[in-house]
Amino acid sequence: MNKKVEVQNLGVKDYKETWDYQEELFKSTLDLKIKNRREELDIPTRNYLLFVEHPHVYTLGKSGDAKNLLISEAELKSKNATFYKINRGGDITYHGPGQLVGYPILDLDNFFTDIHKYLRFLEEAIILTLGEYGLKTERSPGETGVWLDVGTPFARKICAMGVRASRWVTMHGFALNVNADLGYFDNIIPCGIKGKAVTSLNVELGRKEVNLEEVQEKILKHLAHLFKAEFVY
């Protein structure tokens, strides 16, 4: 089992370009797994974690409702935003500058074959990271992601998650609001959940800006511990 994960920092990159790149890595891993099985080989599969910031974009998961996008195509253009229907789970979400997006393309056969556990580990890494900033975050029953003040009128989401998996290979991932422009969330019903607010790390800390690289390193540290993996650049 290969427990090494190759970390790639993509910087600011167009959503569709990044999605295509994810698909390329995802397919190459699937193809190798199929080849191994057919030819009775044992070639190790590779694992990746892509970190990226996207220009303003809204994405709708395969189980989502397009009505949760509250603005027209013309209004999207006026806000320099794009919209894609994509092949992950979940409903609608927003990505944009100041948001740290992580796309793990992992062969879970290298770690454990349990999608529920996989999602919980992603959430736990974010919860532990935010704990280092003094924030008490948690899961909300039945709602994937990471939240503050669950069960109160002030419940707000700080990290969204949505994944796809085939033959235990994952893609898509998590989006943590670090220095996000929260105004863009007003144009959607985030994750299809009405009446719940969204927040960002810099807002919760009362800071103008939080260092994204610092947050990224903390996430990597916790993922390495949880997955018992080695993350390498």
Asked if residue 93 belongs to a known ligand binding site, the reply is: yes
Asked if residue 183 belongs to a known ligand binding site, the reply is: no
Which phi and psi angles does 126 have, rounded to 5°? Answer: -70, -45
| CB 43 within 8 Å of CB 36 | yes
| CB 25 within 8 Å of CB 107 | no
Which phi and psi angles does 108 have, rounded to 5°? Answer: -65, -15
Exactly one of 106, 127, 191, 201 is catalytic; name it.
Answer: 191
Q: At what angle do helices 115-131 and 212-227 cross, to 10 degrees?
A: 140
Asked if residue 88 belongs to a known ligand binding site, the reply is: yes
CA angle at 103 for the pair 192 and 220, rounded to the nearest 5°: 115
Asked if residue 184 belongs to a known ligand binding site, the reply is: no
Asked if residue 171 belongs to a known ligand binding site, the reply is: no
- Determine the Cα–Cα distance for residues 171 and 101; give it in Å rounded to an integer: 12
| CB 200 within 8 Å of CB 179 | yes
Asked if residue 48 belongs to a known ligand binding site, the reply is: no
Asked if residue 15 belongs to a known ligand binding site, the reply is: no
Asked if residue 92 belongs to a known ligand binding site, the reply is: yes
Asked if residue 11 belongs to a known ligand binding site, the reply is: no
| CB 99 within 8 Å of CB 182 | no
The dihedral built from the CA positions of residue 201, 202, 205 and 206, taken in this order, carries a sign that is negative
Asked if residue 160 belongs to a known ligand binding site, the reply is: yes
Residue 159: active-site member: no
Asked if residue 173 belongs to a known ligand binding site, the reply is: yes
Q: Please state the residue numbers annotated as binding site.
A: 88-95, 160-162, 173-175
Positions marked catalytic: 191
- Residue stretches of the annotated binding site for substrate: 88-95, 160-162, 173-175
